[in-house]
Structure formats: C-alpha cells, structure tokens
Amino acid sequence: MKRAAQSLDDRGVATSKSVKMRNHPSKNAGIREAESIAGDGAAPVVMTDASDEVNAPASAEKSGDHHRLGIEKSEMLSEPRIILGDCIEGMATLKAGSFNLIVADPPYNLNKDFGPWKENEKKSEWKDWTRMWIAEAKRLLSDEGNIFVYGIHHHMCWVQCMMLEMGLIYRRQIIWHYENGFAGYGKRTLNATYEPLLWFSKSERYIYNPIREPYKSQERLKHKIIKNGKVWTPNPEGRMAGDIWSFPTLAGRRFRDEKVDHPTQKPLSISRRIIKHFSNPGDMVFVPFVGSGSECVAAVMEGRKYLGFELNSAYIDIARGRLENALEDRHPAQADLPLTPLV
C-alpha cells in the first residue's frame, strides 16, 4: 500500500494552485466548476468552500479529509476521479452523451444507513429523487451506451417503469442469483436468493461483447451432435450466457480479503462482467453512487477509466485504498491506463 501511495504522490497528486469559483446554476450547487488560473499540467485542486478565491494547500488531496474538486468539465472527463458530492448536482455539470456505460447501485429504499443518506429519512422522496437521477443518467448516456441499475424486488418495478417512460430501451432484467445463499427474513417468508439488475440502452446500437460460460455437460461434447440436420460444433469459449447470473455475495471467510466496511458492497466478479462486456477498453465508466468503489476498481482491472460521485467521505477512503491496491496489482494489459489522482 505504501509503495502505491508513494507512486501517486510522485505523479503530482498534491499540487497547489489558485482557482476562481463560479456557482453552478443548480438549485443547491454543492459542486462547482472551477476556472483554473494555474499553468497547464497542474493537478486538480480539492476545494473546501464557496469563496471566490481559494488557495488549496499542497497536502489537500493526500489527506483523508476529502472535499469537492474544482475542475473544468474537460478535465473531469479526461482522467479517473471520485468526487465528494451529490450525484444529481454533479451530473448536471457534465456534457450530454459522455459515457458508454453507467453502472448505478443506488439506495434501495430499505432501511440502510449510509451516513449522509439515511434511507429511513428519505422514503417519502425516494421516487421523485430516483426519477431525477435517472433523467440525468439518460442525458449523459451515449447513443451506444448501456445503463445497469441494481435494486431490490420490493421497489424495482418503479425504477423499470421510470426508465421506460423516459424512452430508454429495455434490454433485460438480469437475475443476480446469490451463488452462496443469503440469510432469510424469518420463518414466515421465503429466503432471499437473488437481486434484480436492470439493463437498458440508449439505442439499438448498444455496445455488447458476448458473454460465454462453460458448457454444463463436458462429456456430451466428446460426441458428434446433430442439430436441425447439421453437425453442431461447440464454441471453444463455451455457451452464450443467459439472464441468470450466479455470483456469490461477499459473505463468510472465503471473501474476507475482498470485503470492506460497507453495508451493500458489490462483488468484483459481477462488476467486472458488466464493465468488460458492456463497454469498450479505454472507456470512461460513470458510477453515480461509488460506495465501496467496486465498479471503479473493476474499471481499472478491465482497462477502463471511471468517474464517480459519493456523499460519504469514509467510503471514499475505502475506495481509495482498494484502487491503490488495484493499480499496484493490475496486469500488464492495463499498463497504459494512466496512474492519476484517485479522488
């Protein structure tokens, strides 16, 4: 970890410069654009308040005290970043059609406590809030883009209807089957063994790199197979995957090295599948709800970049650590992905 952090520092993460702030026209402009008055090549600055002139200390980005970044739109879309702030306000500052893939893992409208966002306090506004972030996500999606939205069976119907009403094109509701099971909700109901995952696109020209899985019967493949009067030759990469994806939850000692302190952390296994097969190498993946950083880490592992928003600075600390490890351990195939400021 120390070696990775040192590498980041050597590449100019902590660079001081002055910025001139101008308020974004949104109702509650918690995130503002910054007009740089420093020389070219300076690193982005971490902003702390709404004053017109702020000098950011050289140690700002190295500290665990995260703040909103003051950066130009072109800068924001050029290098990987996680920004502390509200995703709806942040999305409003971004150019339409900027992303080929959006992976959203929003609050499910249950009773989780995410720090700044406590679900039991947001229930009355959840539907309106959901409609707002989906509308911004649609605007940011490219014509070839895909959007994936995690959810829970209690409320996913609302999300699906909103996406259809906004003109997004339904591709599939994927069933994420909990390969290793899940604790039940009591003796008078059924155990929870899956989560729905919505896949929509902006158009019919969506990006899709086929997913293949091992054939169930390897013995059967040893013999000639006739289909519709023709000899069928199995694909060496396996059969086409369906819409039931079996991936384990991060429960038990088996996943102790991957699990972090976040109540709804998604596994890297499913995150990597989405990013690998529904975007292209080098794409910038947009993550409106960063949480523990699984989608950002998966992006690095699959040779993509990421841009995300997160309200909880403690979660950004967790994501930073995971990203540093991913950058340190990444395979040579991803060596051309720039080593840049993580947050």
Three-state DSSP string of 193-228: CEEEEEEEECCCCCCCCCCEECCCCCCHHHCCEEEC
Q: What is the pLDDT of residues 263-273, one digit of tens each?
A: 888 999 999 99
Distance, CA of 237 to CA of 234 (rounded, Å)? 8
**Considering the entire predicted model, what is its pTM?**
0.76
Of the two residues 337 and 294, the one the predictor is more confident about is: 294
Residue-level pLDDT at 3: 37
- CA dihedral sign of residues 315, 317, 320, 321: negative
Q: Are 36 and 19 in contact (CB under 8 A)?
A: yes
* Token representation of residue 310: 């997160």
pLDDT band at 220 (very low <50, low <70, confident <90, very high): low
pLDDT band at 54 (very low <50, low <70, confident <90, very high): very low
User: Does residue 261 surpass a pLDDT of 50?
Assistant: yes
Q: Which ranges of the chain does DSSP label H, i.e. alpha helix? A: 2-10, 73-76, 87-91, 119-122, 126-140, 156-165, 268-278, 294-301, 313-329
Residue-level pLDDT at 331: 52
pLDDT band at 5 (very low <50, low <70, confident <90, very high): very low
In Å, how far are 189, 193, 215, 249, 285 from 153, measured between CA atoms?
Answer: 14, 11, 30, 17, 26
* The three-state (H, E, C) secondary structure of 42-58, written as one string: CCCEEECCCCCEEECCC
**Percentage of the chain surpassing pLDDT 90?**
48
pLDDT band at 19 (very low <50, low <70, confident <90, very high): very low
User: Does residue 97 surpass a pLDDT of 70?
Assistant: yes
User: Does residue 259 surpass a pLDDT of 50?
Assistant: yes
Distance, CA of 304 to CA of 40 (rounded, Å)? 25
Distance of CA 306 to the CA centre of its chain: 7
Mean pLDDT, range 25-39, rounded to an integer: 31
Of the two residues 16 and 164, the one the predictor is more confident about is: 164
Q: What is the pLDDT of residues 278-299, one digit of tens each?
A: 999 999 999 999 999 999 999 9
Residue-level pLDDT at 290: 96
Residue-level pLDDT at 64: 37
Among 175-184, 205-214, 318-327, 330-339, the least confident range: 330-339
> Under CATH, which number does the domain 64-334 receive?
3.40.50.150
Kindly provide the b/e burial profile for residues 41-76, where b requires at least 16 CB atoms within 10 angstroms of the residue's own CB: eebbbbbeeeeeebebeeebbeeeebbbbbbeeebb
Q: What is the pLDDT of residues 103-162, one digit of tens each?
A: 999 988 887 867 777 877 778 999 999 999 999 999 999 999 999 999 999 899 999 999
Distance, CA of 287 to CA of 270 (rounded, Å)? 15
Distance, CA of 151 to CA of 105 (rounded, Å)? 7
pLDDT band at 183 (very low <50, low <70, confident <90, very high): low
For the chain, give the mean pLDDT.
76
Residue-level pLDDT at 76: 64
Q: Are 270 and 250 in contact (CB under 8 A)?
A: no
Residue-level pLDDT at 285: 98
